[in-house]
Amino acid sequence: MAASTSDVSVAQFLQQVIEMSAFPIRALCHPSVHHLEYRGRAGDSVMPQVNMVQAINDALTLEMGRDDRVVVLGEDVAKVGGVFRVTQGLYERFGEDRVIDTPLAENGIIGAAIGMALYGLIPVAEIQFADFIFPAYDQIVSELAKIRYRSGGEYPAKLVIRVPVGGGIRGGLYHSQSPESLFIHVAGLKVVAPATPADAKGLLLASIRDPDPVLFFEPKRVYRAAKGEVPEGDFEVPIGQAKVVRAGEHVTIIAWGAMLYEALAAADEAEKAGVDCEVIDLRTLWPVDIESIETSVKKTGRVVVVHEAPRSCGFGAELIALINERVFVHLEAPPRRVTGFDTPFPYQLEMEYLPLAHRILPAVLETAQF
């Protein structure tokens, strides 16, 4: 049977999505990227250079091989390997009982995953795009987040929800959102957002082994564009631990996910104007590593927070509130936010919507000169 016009258009869109996640974004080509690579110690063997898709696939393969309770489920995750091919090869290796294609029903995916967790399995559920997670929101916030509390710790509901987030792939308003603040607000959930392949692997392994439910937000814009050294075999990056990826003295820039690369690019441009920026990759959004933020802001006295999500009630607002509560007397300038806008995510103007380096730089310079 010949493919319909709609089938062809969907296939073309999905292929475009994969290609865009490999596109060499300007900031990713910047020399500052070397700050993000996982370097071995002197004398160590050279680690392989891989992208984020490969690193996540490696983590899933390793953990499924180590613990037969781990199962993967989601839309097209089995035979197709997921829309971004992150789960490619798992079905062939572990079989249909552990790599499960589901209907297009996010509430069903998460509801089934919760049931699996309550009966002792460790599900890793994939939501194809962050924009599709909202039908499952009730299951996540009303059931999953509260099971440990309401059962007095008897049922921990140990599972991970993998979610590709963010714009920059020409996905428009239904394939580009960053809903992290909606989940950070909910007690009982942990929220992780890696920016590099090494952190993606290490944090995913830590998340699967964590006793609490974890929302694992993957920046799809850099799925294939960001490459770095990733340790082979088993290793974890601790949940709740930020990383200073660029040391500096004048302004602290806080970012996560794909925007970390833009923050680094802006920091390198600011250096040309005599402003020395310290850049923090949060890595875990909740529980947030407020101690690392405090230490940096006490040193610099100035802070700029960068995120893709809309400005109003975004996570940047909470971070600035925490900074004001804890280190207000050390501030030399008002904290600044560089964010997405309070509009639906646009298709034609997505690069104007995103807080790229050219929007971050003026905020950094103005904060430094205040």
Cβ neighbours of 273 (radius 10 Å): 11
Q: Is 18 exposed, middle or buried (0-12, 13-18, 19+ CB in 10 A)?
A: middle
* Nearest alpha-carbon partner for 130 in 33, 215, 245: 215
pLDDT given for residue 40 in this prediction: 38
Walk me through the domains of the chain, giving residue ranges and CATH numbers: 49-229 (3.40.50.970), 240-369 (3.40.50.920)
Among 175, 185, 250, 330, the one annotated catalytic = 175
Q: Is 156 helix (H, G, I), strand (E, B) or coil?
A: coil
Instruction: Give the angle 76-78-83 at the CA atoms, nearest 5°.
Output: 40
- Model-level pTM? 0.89
Q: pLDDT (tens digit, 9 = 90+) per residue, 52-67?
A: 999 999 999 999 999 9
Q: pLDDT (tens digit, 9 = 90+) per residue, 103-129?
A: 999 999 999 999 999 999 999 999 999
8: confidence class by pLDDT, cuts 50, 70, 90: very low
CA dihedral 348, 351, 352, 354 (to 10 degrees): 120
Determine the average pLDDT of the residues in 310-332.
Answer: 97
* Nearest alpha-carbon partner for 336 in 311, 356, 308, 358: 311
Location of structure tokens 């407020």: 290
Q: Given a cut of 90, is residue 21 above it in pLDDT? A: no
Residue 217 pairs in a beta bridge with: 163
Q: 305 vs 6, which has greater pLDDT? A: 305
| Total residues found in the chain within this entry | 370
Give the distance, in angstroms, between the CA of residue 309 and the centroid of all CA atoms in the same chain. 12
47: confidence class by pLDDT, cuts 50, 70, 90: confident
Cα radius of gyration rounded to whole Å, the chain: 20
Q: Given a cut of 80, is residue 81 above it in pLDDT? A: yes
Q: Is 175 a catalytic residue?
A: yes
